[in-house]
A and B are shown apart, each in its own frame.
Chain A
């Protein structure tokens, strides 16, 4: 087990190193930030001073090594725009994005699994067909459009929910969170649902497929032959086997929840990393872009690692195989 984790850790380090190279080269090949920061009429010496200050006069590979050295010290450069450390800017906004992503994940599980299992167990009922049509809509409607519609219906027309911002936040372990206040909850409801829609649909499909398959498996039939109550057959025997693919996929999708929150955050003016990166892209704020991408890579790698570990907890067959290594 531990050998397995160490191996996975080493792989992760290699992935992060490779990504840092790609990200850095990619970002430094596009555009010229100096034009954004300095008015074209500025004197030549002024422009050169700024270029030197930003370290943009050095060769790219030197810039990269410099970047790596600093990155290892937790310094991903200063935002050209804000003049503050890029990492700090991102970390400040991270809790908002993570809160949104977690809320969406929770919704995907809480709505997706029961609906999917229901549709899998009773595939011929009208309600099941409605659920499945709904999930197709969830897949195919563009997130930003659904977001706008939600705002129009629930904020503008009905006036039930606020349309922008995080609302009232409280401090939890030094992080600002919305979900502990009523006002915050009202604020997070729409954006979280908007972000979750795609994942709910995904989980519905996965759970339904899993449930349909499981209902015909011998061990589920055997569970019935043992005289177990239907509730236990479904909640334990069917569910435990569905959880393996669902957890794996959801875990991997959590990264994309964070990445895709860009759209939702923009629509709902949610003050998270997504909004920051959109602004940074507008201004070609390289350090912020690089820092954002590096953080996202790190998040993906960590999530993958955790999914692997969780997977081995859920599926005893994986656990044993690794113990033997």
Chain B
């Protein structure tokens, strides 16, 4: 040992790279690594696993067999489904979603969902089997470099090659996945590690020395932010997923009501602030509401909380909120000044930040400023919403379908939308009145997300209505998960908005490629017959007068139910901020 070097470990008062809590939750002598995996998950409070077995993870599945009474495992039909289901589970509970997959193809099938969880900050732990240690690097049967492949899309990943590493690796995985800005973690466990015997002792991880998920908020910056807010004339707040992640809904409401500031939401922030609140002005982004988009360039103070200025929100950055003083409340230091230059960065947890701000801000109201938003709403209503909701066309429009669903569920269902026009319509027309109700793939825009994600959401929240709203295209990407719904009897409601097109791409081809419809015309199977073959009831609705009954039938069903709604083929989603345009240039038609 080199005695001349100072040991950082002692200096920083941590004994190892990772610091266990010191409280042993479970201990058991002489068990297999595989059993240790299961016991570790149980110690972390895991009650649900989404997975698919195979050679390299068989020992772990064998161990699971003995704990079936303590953990529910859902056999998905494709590993991608496992990840999205775990995401759905995580998004409505803020708990860590868990997936199992075997090595090679099992693990590579997880990648889309892992990437999705990474970009949408969703806590997830994926456990993959791996070939035995001696075979690593030999192109053994079903060997892929999962750690290498998943590295760019994981918050952390680690390969376990001996049983005694298992509890520490899993403890660290859960801690990292859940804390700070959440994200996916992959733990790849070689087969020998699953088979080896060990003495098991589980302690939760409380600290990793190279990882600082939470920062103390800077008092001076809080004062500075409060002063800016107190002197603002046209302050505007955009909230994101961070509110839901930090569970800051109450604090947000209190802060908003005290300051009187108008609140808009990003796509992933939807349902964090009730849609019927006087100060709620709508949602921002490419297909967001008119007022919230253009007012971004008219406010004098922009308070962004738990959002990351995605390009779909900002449009052209050179013409985004340049006039405003920007206050960015954000937990991830790398997001500060990444896209939008901030005047005051409040680095820390959104809930803590709001708690610390509320005592510093003055009670105010902005009736005139809010009235400006209302004027925009009136214009949007006239030019877009009225046409969408009271169409003169014969065919149903997606908007009226979603609006009716919203009415019938009183804004209290969990909507799980897929990707495309219908997704934008859901975010525009579902009237969220309850929190944690919007599950969708935002950052990655993964078609095929909704059906498996809805399974995860429903399993996590059996008492709530969970409605998957999916396009005819996206449904065909993961429709095999109907098998999971059948076998596990998950009563998710599935609503397919069938426009016989890859609608969103078609819309772009119409608007920006002179109607050259290049491979967006998509045929579908008979969805009702398909559902039936999985033992799932369903019906098709194409007439306006049948819509309400169809929706009611779906909602009333005790079991899963598939409602296919035939909608207008060539409908477009407006408003729209074309790519590269400024939010000010939002088009209403």
A and B bound? Answer: no
Footprint of B on A, CB under 8 Å? none
